[in-house]
Amino acid sequence: MRESPRGIGHNGLVTTSATYAPAARTIKRPNPVAVGTIVWLGSEVMFFAGLFAIYFTLRSTSPELWADRTELLNVVYAFVNTVILVASSFTCQMGVFAAEDLQPYRIDKGKVNAFGRRRLFGWGMVEWFWLTFILGAIFVSGQVWEYAQLVAEGLPITADSYASAFYITTGFHALHVTGGLIAFVLVIGRAYAVKNFGHKEATSSIVVSYYWHFVDVVWVALFAVIYFLK
């Protein structure tokens, strides 16, 4: 606190200038949960980079095997399954927008949320995340059905090096998608459990969306390498 020198006013009284203190400076720190998630996803990038390396190595060392086995893949079916997963990324982001507005549930027609906005269909985070969960579950179920068809056509995981690379790569990705589905259930459950949906719950939703967008992007890259790289 600093005080200015005293002075004498027009009526002869001694006056003292008002004292003041500098305003406290606020420091904006990044959310530790979000930062930790991003760092962890960086390690996941390295993990999937190793799986991609398996494919490129196999293609360069065994081009005949690669060409023969890729003929068994149902590209149209995999494309439809990919569209479903990519669509889930959009529904997930819609849920994040609702969470940022602190709107966990659907609001009635004509009403707006606390930020004066009305989301598409009036849905809140819970409704959008349930839809994302359903789309993700359809994707995983579609991969399981594809595995069954390939095994029926004579391509089990023990068939050759290409089969091993295919099942390991897509299988690990399916496990990551399943982990994301579990995360959605936990976030939705937390929204139901708390009395007041606040910034902590919104942050959890945002962090889960980071992970979900990551697995979507990884699958798009895998899809291009596995199904289109001849």
Where is average pLDDT lowest: 62-71, 94-103, 133-142, 179-188? 62-71
d(CA 69, CA 105): 47
**15 SS3 class:** strand
Q: Which residues of 81-96 are buried (b: 16+ CB within 10 A; e: fewer)?
A: bbebbbbbbebbbbbb
Q: Is residue 198 part of a domain?
A: yes
Which residue do the tokens 């959310």 mark? 31
The pLDDT, as a whole number, for residue 18 is: 45
How many structural domains does the chain have?
1
Say if 150 falls within a structural domain: yes
pLDDT digits (tens, 9 = 90+) for 72-115: 899 999 999 999 999 999 999 999 999 988 888 878 666 766 65
Domain that holds residue 58: 31-228
- Whether 24 maps to a domain, the answer reads no
DSSP 42-100: HHHHHHHHHHHHHHHHHHHH-HHHHHHHHTTS-HHHHHHHHHHHHHHHHHHHHHHHHHH
CATH at residue 136: 1.20.120.80
How far is 125 from 92, CA to CA, in rounded Å? 9
In a domain, 17, yes or no: no
Contacts (Cβ under 8 Å, ≥6 apart) of 56: 225
